[in-house]
Amino acid sequence: MKNIYLPIEATIEDVISETSNIKTFLIRPKQPFSFKTGQFIELSMPGIGEAPFTPSSDPNISEVMEVTIMKAGRITSLLHQASKGTTVGIRGPYGKGYPLESFEGKDILILGGGVGLAPLRSLLFSLFSDIDKYNKVLLRYGARSSADIVYKTAIPQWAKKKKVDIVTTVDVGDPGWKGNVGLVTTILKDLPLNLKKAVAIVCGPPIMMKFGVLKLMDLGFKPQEIYLSMEKNMSCGLGKCGHCRIGKFYACKDGPVFTYEELKDIPDIWD
């Protein structure tokens, strides 16, 4: 019988520094590995441990994948020390991704904060590859400072694509920053979209997601039109350990993508 906890061997082929504490790893599995945007994987350091991450690369590419990781704990710190040629393990994919078919023909507002742009990058690639299926794509992204923006060189290129509208902001400006200054909710005004035919996707730090959702509701989005990427406390990826319980749901099995309608009556979802 197949061991569901046994990972596929993979090799780190490149490491890109995004910010002082965020890196993107280009990983090549020993066999083709596919996932749907919004799903997550378990990435392991052999003999040491593993942690869950949502791939940040194009789901249409199965030969390699990219995972953008913030240095935050034991496994992420060890991964940040890894170099080209390091052997890692991948298992999955797990969970439910974004329901792209229900986004077709609509205005899509993507709200991201900090490293939360990583799973949203995978979503953007999926939307870009079939852009004619959607009315327009709006990205509103915020970071603490210009130095904390991930995918700095990619964002201006995305903004040149048809049907794509991008606005970024930073919490604290600096002399070299010429863009918006303020929390990401401050750039959620005068949005060029049709609220009667729109959906919103939110991913970022819990406090940003909380106030982002409140702002979206103020703008007129309904709870069932707001999608959240709830990646907190996931561990085993299989719904066995119970660490990622959100009310009656398990983030790893029932998510990590949920509508706000599913979670809005559950206490402390942002803790």
CA 250/CA 129 separation, integer angstroms: 31
Task: Say what the alpha-carbon torsion angle 34, 83, 141, 246 is, to the nearest 10 degrees.
Answer: 60
Q: What is the pLDDT of residue 2?
A: 66
| Interval 256-266: pLDDT, tens | 999 999 999 99
Q: What is the pLDDT of residue 1?
A: 56
Which structural domains are found in the chain, ordered by start? Answer: 8-94 (2.40.30.10), 100-226 (3.40.50.80)
- Angle among Cα 168, 152, 53 to the nearest 5 degrees reads 95
Quote the tokens at residue 18.
């995004």
Taking 70 as the pLDDT cut, the residues of the chain under it are 1-2
Q: What is the pTM of this model?
A: 0.94
Quote the tokens at residue 53.
């991450």
Percent of the chain with pLDDT over 70: 99
Give the residue among 270, 121, 113, 117 at the shortest CA–CA distance from 186: 113
